[in-house]
Structure 1
Amino acid sequence: MRIVVVGAGSVARRHVEVLTGLGARVVGVVDPDEAAAGRLAAACGATATTDVEQALDDGRPDAAYVCVPPFAHGPAERAVLARGLPLFVEKPVGLDPAVAEEVAGLVERAGVVSGTGYHWRCLDTLDPLRERAAAAPPLLAVGSWLDKRPPVAWWGSARLSGGQVVEQLTHVLDLARSLLGEAAEVHAVGVRRAPTAPDRQPDPVDDPVDDATAALVRFHSGAVASFTATSLLAAKRQASLQLCGPGWWAEVDDAGVCWDEGSGRRPEAWSEDPRVAVDREFLEAVRGERAATRAPYAEAVRSHRLAWAVSESARTGGPVRLDAPSAGAGGTAS
C-alpha cells in the first residue's frame, strides 16, 4: 500500500515507522519545512516536497496521513478528499470546530475510509470494560492529563494549539465519550500563573495557554465527570480515565485497564500497542478487510466538539451546553 504523509514532526515520524513495519510503503512526505520533510523522506525512501497537491499527484497513493499542528488542518484534508482517497488524520482534527465540521462533511460525501489518532479506542482491553459498563452503567468518571509543556513553539499559543484541553486532554475526553455517551453540559475554569512568577520564563507568545484546567461534565446518560489538565510538571505524571459503577471501579490509560470489583486491583495490559493497532486497523479498512476503523473521523469531530466546549467554558467562565445527539450524529456546542 502506498501512503503519502503530510507533516514531518515527531507524530508523523512515529506513524511512518509503524506503517513501514506493517508493510506499507511511504512514497511521499510533505512539510513546509523542506529540511524536515527531507530528513523523514530519506529515512523511509520517500520523495520530499512542500506541496501537498504535487505529492498526491506524483505519488499515486492509496491513502494519506495528515499529521499537522491544530492550526494547519484543512488544506491537506481537502486535497486528499478531492481525490477520493482514504484519510487518516491525527488528533486534534482542527483548532476551532469549523474546519473539523467542514472536513467531516467532505468525508461523508466522499464515502471514504477514515481513521484518526484516538488510539486509546484500540486498546484490546476495552471490550470487557464496555460489557461491564453496559451491564452496570458507570455514574462517575474522573479523567486527567498531568504533564510537562511540549517543546514545540506553537504549543504555547492558544490560537495555534487550542490549549492543552484541545491538544492533549482530548484523548481522555474521547475515551469518556466512547464509554459514557455524549456530553450534555460543561462547566470549566482555567488558570495561568502570573507572568512575573519567580520561576516563570517570559511567554514567547501574546496568547499563552492555560497552565491548568478543571472541568465538570454532565452526560446525557446521567453520568457526571471531572476532568483536569496541567502542563506545569517537569515530566508526564498521569493520563487516565477512572470509572465508577455499582460495585466496580476501573482505570484506563494507554497501557491497559486496571480493575477493582471488591477484591483488589487487577491490572490487564494490552497485547498490542494501541499506537500500532490504530494504523493496522486503518490499513485493513483501506484494503477492505474490515468495515471501518474504531476511530473514524465522525467520532473524532464529536470529541473535538467536547474539547472545544471545555475550552470555551474555561475562557468565558460560563457553562456550555451541548445538544442532545440525534440518531447517527453527535451534538453541537451552543
Structure 2
Amino acid sequence: VEAEELGGATTHSEISGVTDYKAEDDEEALDMVRSIVDHQGPVERFGYVRKESRETAYPSEELYGLYPSQGNEQYDMREILARIVDADSWTEYKEGYGRTVLTGYARIDGWNVGVVANQRAVVRNKTSHDSQGEIQVGGVIYSDAADKAARFILNCNQKEIPIIFFQDVTGFMVGKRAEHGGIIKDGAKMVNAVANSTVPKLTVVVGNSYGAGNYAMCGRAYDPRLVLAWPTAKIAVMGGTQASKVLKQIKVRQLEKQGKELSEEDEQELLSEIQERYKEQTTPYYAAARLWVDVLIDPVNTRDWLSRGLDVVDHNPKLERFNPGVIQT
C-alpha cells in the first residue's frame, strides 16, 4: 500500500473526510487559513488599551551607536528604551529604588505595556538620607531591584497589562552582604512573580542573559509569547571567562585521576580551546538553532517586532486567574 493511498491528502480530504481542506502548496494553505480566520465569529477579547501611535523620541537607527562594542561596558538602558517606546509615554515606577532594574509603563506603537529592563550603568542605591549610597554594578539584580521588579509584575497582572522584558543580565548579586540582605528571599519573590504571571510576556535579549538572571527576566523557560534576540545577545549558564575556568578545572581533575599531568602550556592550551568552544555556544545563532529564541532581529526593528507580537496577543480570548501563592515579603 502506498503512503498516499493509506493516509495522504487526497485520501483524507476526498475519501475519509478526516481533513476539511486540501492545498496544493504552502502558499495556497496560508491563503486558506486567512480565509478561514476572516470568517470566524465574534470572540471574547482582552481589549488591551491601544491609543494612537506616536513616533519614538529619538531615531531607532541610533541604537547602533548606543550598545557598546564590548558587552561588559556600561550604558544607560533608558537610552535604549527611548528609541523603542512611543515619545513621552515612559512613566518609570520606583525610579530611585532598586536602580539596577528599570520598571515602568510605556506605549509601543500605541500599545499599553509594562517594561522590566536591566540597567547596565553603575548606580548608587541610597541606604539613608545622608549617605551617598552603595555602589551597585549594572546588569546585576540586587535585593532591592528584585523586590521592585516583583511588585511591578504583580501590578501589571492586576491591571492586565502585557509585560516586555529587556535582558542584559549577568545574574543575582552574591556575597556576604547580599546574603545578609535577603537576596535569596527577594530573588525568589521576583522569580515567583514572573513564573506565575498570566499576562502576555515578550522578551528582548539585548546583551547578556546568564544563569538565574535569564529565568528572573523571563527567559524561554517561563513561556514568553515571543523571544527576540539582538546580534549582541549571549545566552549561557554563566559568563564565558568564569565558565571556561570551571570547565578547565573539571577537565584537569579528570586527567589527573587517569594519571596524566599537564604542563602550564598544556593547561593554557586547554583553557583556550574551552573558551573558544564556549564562545561559540553563547552566540544568538547557537541559541536560535535550539529554539531558545524565536527570532534574531536587527535592533532597529525591535519596535516593529514588539508591535506585531502585541497585536497577536491581543487576540488571546482570556487570561487565567493570577495566583502567585504565598510570597515572602
Q: Normalising by the residue count of structure 2, what TM-score does the alignment of the two structures yield?
A: 0.29
Which structure's residues are more often strand, by fraction?
A: 1
The structure with the larger Rg is 2
Q: Which has the higher contact order (CA 8 A, sep 6+)?
A: 1
